[in-house]
Structure 1
Amino acid sequence: MTKIIARTGHRTKKLGGYNEEIFIRLVALSKASLLKMQATEVISGMALGFDQALAIAAIELQIPLIAAVPFKGQDELWSEQDKECYESILFQTKAIVYVDKTREYSTEHSGYNPQKMHKRNQYIVDHCDEVLALYDSSDGGTGNCIKYAESLGKPVLNVWKSWVKYRGF
């Protein structure tokens, strides 16, 4: 039975910063969650933070990964190290979908635009069975993504309490 898991979650500044220790913990949390959810495929939006940790977890668990990239050049403003990690993940995916180029999710905007992130989130929810969330209940894109998933009746597993408990905030 196929079980496609998508993710929504905060970027690094809400997770305690961006360093190797935090990223390793995010990957470990993602692995445990994917195993608990019995994932057979994963969709990642490829943003820094939880998105990429989930992608690495899927790769390490040998679960097929689809990269739902909001637009080509998503990584333009990132550090060289972050760009290398991004490229490495993309190289190991089952498929790469540039969401802004798909008929149903296309936008008229070029380059970065918040609407493209919203469309990417819609895409991942529309194409999954369940959503894995790392969400602290604050306003923003993660909350909007969860509301969208719930409006479609998609189960959402929010692992924020586990993150806080084992991260030591």
Structure 2
Amino acid sequence: MEGKTCCVTGHRDLPQKEINHVKAALRREIDSAVADGFTRFMSGFADGVDQYFAEIVLEKKKTNPALELIAVIPYQKRLDSLMAKGRTYEMLEACADVVVMQEKCHPSVYSHRNRYMVEHSDRVIAVYDGREKGGTVRAIRFAHQFRKELREIPVGLILDKNRTNLGQNRI
């Protein structure tokens, strides 16, 4: 792989009031990555954060053709279902590559996908709300394990906790 690679991990079920904040933060992180020499971006194409990230990268690709989006899909039926939807079909067609991790769905397939993305990236962008279980926290742990640069975008529980703590510090 030429150029530096950046991947994303994040939650599928963000609170509606957080979506614009997350999209703006993702846009800033992608701009920062491009300024730092990143040209390849990987998304697992799950609903929520993964697809917001993919949309922004493809939007930026219109003015910067050097950018590439790589879709890393956990299993074949997931790819088939994404290809059946107009919006995700168009995004997948615009990808430089589509990697399908496994033929069939197994309990560990999402973890394998996340590990693959982290291992093949130089930077990981994580949209994270503090949950102690789930794919996002496992991807963050992979980033630490493989000593990857990690950029976190706090949302939901973490953001509310930080706001509360900031308010208490001001008193």
| Structure 2: gaps spanning 5 or more residues | 62-66, 164-171
TM-score (norm 2): 0.76
Residue 74 of structure 1: SS of its match in structure 2? Answer: helix
Q: For 2:116, which of 120, 123, 130 is the aligned residue?
A: 123
Residues 100-145 of structure 1: per-residue CA shift (max 9 Å, x gap): 25xxxxxxxx2x3331101100110111111000011202111011
Match of 2:33 among 31, 37, 48: 37
Aligned length: 149
* Secondary structure of the corresponding residue to residue 52 of structure 2: helix
SS at match of 2:28: helix
- Aligned partners of 1:23 and 1:53 also within 8 Å: no
Q: Which sits farther off after the overlay, 150-159 or 68-77?
A: 68-77
Please list the CA deviations of residues 9-65 of structure 1 after superposition, one character each: whole Å capped at 9, or x if unmatched.
Answer: 001x2x114xxx865654433221111123311000010000011111110111210
Instruction: Give the superposed CA RMSD.
Output: 2.7
The reply to whether residue 156 of structure 1 matches residue 160 of structure 2 is no
* Offset, 1:98: 0.4
In 2, the alpha carbon distance for the partners of 1:125 and 1:56 equals 20
The TM-score, its normalising length taken from structure 1, stands at 0.77
Q: Percent identity?
A: 27
Question: Which structure shows the higher strand fraction?
Answer: 2
**In 2, are the aligned partners of 1:44 and 1:54 still within 8 Å (CA)?**
yes
2:96 to 80, 94, 97: 94
Matched residues in 2 for 1:71 and 1:29: separation?
A: 29
- Structure 1 counterpart of 2:8, which letter? R
Check the 8 A contact 2:22/2:153 in 1, yes or no: no
Once the two structures are TM-superposed, the CA of residue 157 in structure 1 deviates from its matched residue by 0.3
Report the equivalent of 2:3.
2
Q: Which runs of 5+ in 1 are unaligned?
A: 102-109
CA displacement 1:58-105 (0-9 Å, x = unmatched): 101112100001111216678x7xx2222111010000000125xxxx
Q: Whose radius of gyration is greater, 1 or 2?
A: 2
- Asked if the contact 1:31/1:61 (under 8 Å) is kept, the reply is no
Q: Is the 8 A contact 1:27 1:56 kept in 2?
A: no
Hey, what does 1:85 align to over in structure 2?
87
For 1:156 and 1:97, locate their aligned partners in 2 and report how far apart those are by CA, in whole Å: 23
